[in-house]
Amino acid sequence: MIERKFTRIQTELPGPKSAAVFATKAEYVAAPLETYAPFIIKQAQGAIIEDLDGNRFLDFSGGWGCLAVGQRNERVVAALKDQIDGYLHTDFTAVPYAPFIELAKLLCEHTAIDGPRKAAFFNSGAEAVENAVKIARAYTKRKAILVFENAFHGRTLLAMTMTHKAKPYKYGFGPFASDVYRLPYPYEYRNSITAEDIERSLLTLVDPSEVAVMVVEPVIGEGGFLVPPAWFLPAMRRLADKYGFVLALDEVQSGIGRTGKFFAFEHFDVQPDLICVAKSLGSGIPLSGVVGKAKIMDAPIGSAIGGTYAGNPLACRAAIEVIRTIDEDNLLAQATHVGDRIKSHFQRLATKYDVIGDVRGIGAMVAMELVTDRQTKEPATELTGKIATAALRNGAIFPTAGLQGNVLRVLVSFVITDEEIDEGMRILEAAFESVLG
Ligand SMILES: Cc1ncc(COP(=O)(O)O)c(C=O)c1O
């Protein structure tokens, strides 16, 4: 029996009310929109989700990393209600509004790069990545894009091309965009590479004088929570300077406090040119942005970037409160605390279960990699899925990651309490027990 206070499983999953909604989904929602949880949400608060049938779950997926300040954060909700009473939409480039500009200022102030900075807002992470590439191309007047192994950048044509994993993200969707070149990313648990290896790869793939931008995740997210060694990002900065291209960081998953600093790059001795943000910025309201050096951000001609809903006022109001909450509630320290506590639970589990090959992470971005054998490091893909499913059915939602799907990761809200973490870990441990028998 799992000792429970926050979670509750009182029906089969899906329960009858959820099952009825799933039946309608099967009939009317396009099949590729597969869903992970075997229940339909009714309401949520903090890190807890309740379904239509009264079951309660601890959500370690945090809306896939969008809910740093928690579900329905009080300040975010109050700002949204206030905004609804004012106006909903204009298109910023038609009739401008102050929250867009206020957010740009706040984001620039939180971006630890030297010199003048500017920001632009969009809707999704993929759009932020696409726009960072457009801005870099306009600035350099070059076309080639450098990306990395294990990268995930989104699902639009260019972002999908830049993404590494073929299935499911690219399967059947070619032809892809041109001028995208993939370099090795340091994956310390599996392969060790050097800066020279990366430069050699670059020089064999493309003439560096044609490279507009290198887009890199400072900590790899979907591709398996890979924290690079200290030399990596400074070395990429040196390559960018040597060959005259833009260094753009995709902080869609790692940014907005996730690693215990506002941006993950602050852990490393590096100054990027552009940074892509999304996910937790809008706290569930679609919002993304590119922030970076003013002279690069200003490079495209007037009206060349934007979009009807880009930086919608509701999203900007939410984001302003997200950033203020992170500052005023000391959530960077809290993200580190949450991550440390989860990591020590993972390390304890690793002493018990040989299938846990590696425990890694930074701040609240913590993961374990599962292998069938610690010597051969054969990815335990099926087992990882079974353990995640067992935990989910028992009340704790853990997303998986990695090119082989054998990484169990945490993208939890920073507002989760110690007691909630511990209960989630008891559920995870019970999942290991039940699957490994
Ligand atoms: C690093 C990174 N970049 C880009 C994206 C794409 O973001 P979106 O799904 O909002 O387009 C994601 C989404 O998971 C991501 O993790």
Reply yes or no on domain 16-59+330-436 having CATH 3.90.1150.10.
Answer: yes
Q: Is 130 in the pocket of ligand 1 (CB under 6 A)?
A: no
3-class secondary structure for 40-90? CEEEEEECEEEECCCCEEEECCHHHHCCCCCECCHHHHHHHHHHHCCCCCC
> Over the stretch 12-69, which tens digit does the pLDDT of each residue have?
999 999 999 999 999 999 999 999 999 999 999 999 999 999 999 999 999 999 999 9
**Ligand 1 atom nearest to CA at 154:** 6
Q: Dump pLDDT digits (tens) for 91-133.
A: 999 999 999 999 999 999 999 999 999 999 999 999 999 999 9
179-196 tens-digit pLDDT = 999 999 999 999 999 999
Cβ atoms of 223 and 164 closer than 8 Å: yes
Question: Residue range 290-298: average pLDDT?
Answer: 98
Please tell me the distance between residue 250's alpha carbon and the centre of ligand 1 in angstroms. 8
Return all residues near 175 (Cβ < 8 A) that are at least 6 apart: none
Structure tokens at 72: 């329905």
- Looking at domain 74-328, which CATH architecture does it have? 3-Layer(aba) Sandwich (3.40)
CA atoms within a 13 Å half-sphere pointing along the CA-CB vector of 276: 31
Show the tokens assigned to 140: 């350099």
Q: pLDDT-derived band of residue 359, with 50, 70 and 90 as boundaries?
A: very high
Alpha helices in 85-140 (DSSP H): 98-109, 125-140
151 in contact with ligand 1, CB cutoff 6 A: no
pLDDT at 22 (0 to 100): 98
Distance 59 CA to ligand 1 centre (A): 19
Helix count and strand count (H, E) for the chain: 13, 15
d(CA 344, CA 155): 34
Residue nearest atom 16 of ligand 1, based on CA coordinates: 253
Dist CA 241 CA 78 (whole Å):
45
Task: For CATH 3.90.1150.10, list the domain ranges present in the chain.
Answer: 16-59+330-436
Tell me which of 153, 155, 411 to substitute to probe ligand 1's pocket, judged by most ligand atoms within 8 Å of the beta carbon: 153
How confident is the model at residue 300, as a pLDDT? 98
What per-residue confidence (pLDDT) applies to 89?
97
Question: Where, residue-wise, is CATH 3.40.640.10 in the chain?
Answer: 74-328
In short, whether 255's Cβ falls inside 6 Å of ligand 1 is: no
- For ligand 1, atom 7, which residue shows the shortest CA distance? 125
Structure confidence at residue 437 (pLDDT): 81
* 126 alpha carbon – ligand 1 mean position (Å): 6
- Which residue is closest in CA terms to ligand 1's atom 4? 153
222 CB near ligand 1 (under 6 Å): yes
**Region 285-312: what's the mean pLDDT?**
98
Global confidence as pTM: 0.98
CA of 152 to the centre of ligand 1 (A): 7
Say if residues 131 and 290 touch (Cβ distance below 8 Å): yes
Ligand 1, closest atom to CA 276?
Answer: 3
State the closest ligand 1 atom to the C-alpha of 123, by its place in the atom list counted from 1: 10
Listed residue (329, 327, 324, 369) closest to 346, CA to CA: 369
Residue 410's φ and ψ, nearest 5 degrees, are -130, 125
| 41 vs 431: CA distance, rounded Å | 22
Termini Cα distance of the chain = 15
User: What letter does residue 182 receive in the DSSP assignment?
Assistant: E
